[in-house]
Chain A
Amino acid sequence: MQFTPKQLNDNVNVSKTHPLIELFWLIGGLIVLVGLVFLILGVTTDWAVSKTPIKIENWIGHLALAEFPADENKALEQRLQSLLDSLPEDSPLHQYNFHVFLDESDIVNAIALPGGNIVVYAGLLNEVKSENELAMVLAHELGHFAHRDHLRGLGRGLGVAVAATLLFGEESAASSLVSKTLLTFQARYSQDQESAADQFGLDLLTRRYGHAGGATDFFSRLTEDAGSKLPYLLASHPHPKVRIDALNKLIKGRHYSIAKTQPLAPDLLP
């Protein structure tokens, strides 16, 4: 046997693909994968939301409420009750047992939590000047319950976080990047829900008082002092100016009249 030394020019043990091209394909695949997960989560959440009985929702509500240390407020509940009384008899909202909580922090916002719990922040109550404005805010939150948005947000937000963590682990930069990108989608998604809730709120306000006076007052005040508290509200809600325009268009389209608003009753003045 003859040994003939020979140097090979080609290397069969290493793939020829350029690493950057491989990176491009892998990241592309990842984006498609994440998009699919988000789509599937959206569809399943919508389905689950429409099937969730209010009993289960109440149970979730107890869990959610534990995160918001706030006291039940009788004066606010009284306002909510008069709004509920002006709803039609067959409204699904009558199945809820509503509670309104007042949180002492300065945030200008109100949240609808599962199980018929509404948290109103003291910051919002300080900004409100008339009964009609307050009714509009509460009716807006009732709109979220009517459309079951509070469950929708919970389901998808939870699903996204779980999926990203499963893929990349809790502390990885990739999973925080994914949830950051997806949560902007989330804000966009909820902006449509906010507009739908505004619409519901306007209709209910008109049923309650017989006119749409005060529907836009709160938002126009927000536009005026575009100061410190505004950015928080802007994150998940449409710009107040946009909301005012949409509401005015609705008022005109539905031929709602506008009359004088009632000042806030003394039991809610700070």
Chain B
Amino acid sequence: MEILLQNFDLVIFLVLAIFGYTAGSLAEKRHYRSIIKREKELLKMAVVTAEGSFPPERIQEVALVMGSVVISIDYFKRILAILRNIFGGRVKSYESLVDRARREAILRMKESAKEQGAKMIINMRLETATIGRSANKKKSVGSVEAIAYGTAIVMN
């Protein structure tokens, strides 16, 4: 018991790491389930990065649509990333984070286009940004933002 009290900062560190791992992987699993389910539902909506040109009489309406999402890293992913900073190599713990953020952003964009009755989105662009720049610095946990935007087309 005394050893625990003497190394209190260490105990906090371990508790945070274990909590971060359980909560983080539960959240990730749930998120992926929801992403895959919604991607299936919205499969019919075409999203392309090409500009596309259509005869004017076929187009009823065009609109800018976008979807954005912010996802936070958890304490465990941060530890893995800090250790990676020593050795170099792929930061695998952040890969799923960015993947989730981009797919979620595209899904939200598609949902917004669907509400407007659009059948397809052209000229789609994706951008990623960090929120909380000091993500790897002391005691701060950063997040990633992904934003997807494009032109939704409502056909006649």
Q: Which of B46, B77, B92 touches A5 (beta carbons < 8 Å)?
A: B46
A6: nearest chain-B partner, CB-CB: B43
Within 8 A of B (CB), among A1-38: 3, 5-7, 11, 13-15, 17, 19-20, 22-23, 26-27, 29-30, 33
Q: Cβ of A14 and Cβ of B86 under 8 Å apart?
A: no
Q: Cβ of A3 and Cβ of B138 under 8 Å apart?
A: no
B54 within 8 A of A: no
In the complex, what distance in Å separates the CA atom of A11 from the CA atom of B76?
22
A56 within 8 A of B: no
Q: Cβ of B39 and Cβ of A7 under 8 Å apart?
A: yes
Contact with B along A163-204 (1 / 0, CB 8 A): 000010101110011001000000000000000000000000
B95 within 8 A of A: yes
B13 within 8 A of A: yes
Q: Cβ of A171 and Cβ of B44 under 8 Å apart?
A: no
In the complex, what distance in Å separates the CA atom of A11 from the CA atom of B40?
15
Q: Cβ of A26 and Cβ of B39 under 8 Å apart?
A: no
Q: Cβ of B86 and Cβ of A15 under 8 Å apart?
A: no
Interface size class of A (residues with CB under 8 A): 20 to 34
* B contacts with A: majority SS: helix
Q: Which of A29, A169, A180 touches B87 (beta carbons < 8 Å)?
A: A29
- Given A5-B44, A172-B138, check contact A30 B10 (CB 8 Å): no
Q: Cβ of A171 and Cβ of B90 under 8 Å apart?
A: no
Within 8 A of A (CB), among B25-49: 25, 36, 39-40, 43-44, 46, 48
- Given A7-B39, A22-B80, A26-B84, check contact A14 B138 (CB 8 Å): no
Besides A7-B43, A13-B98, A19-B21, 12 other CB < 8 A contacts?
A7-B36, A14-B92, A15-B92, A20-B21, A26-B80, A27-B83, A29-B87, A30-B83, A30-B86, A169-B138, A172-B138, A177-B10
Interface residues of B (CB under 8 A from A): 7, 9-10, 12-13, 21, 25, 36, 39-40, 43-44, 46, 48, 76-77, 79-80, 83-84, 86-87, 90, 92-93, 95-96, 98-99, 138
**Which 9 A-B pairs give the minimum distances between C-beta atoms?**
A26-B83, A15-B92, A173-B13, A5-B43, A13-B99, A14-B96, A14-B95, A3-B46, A173-B9
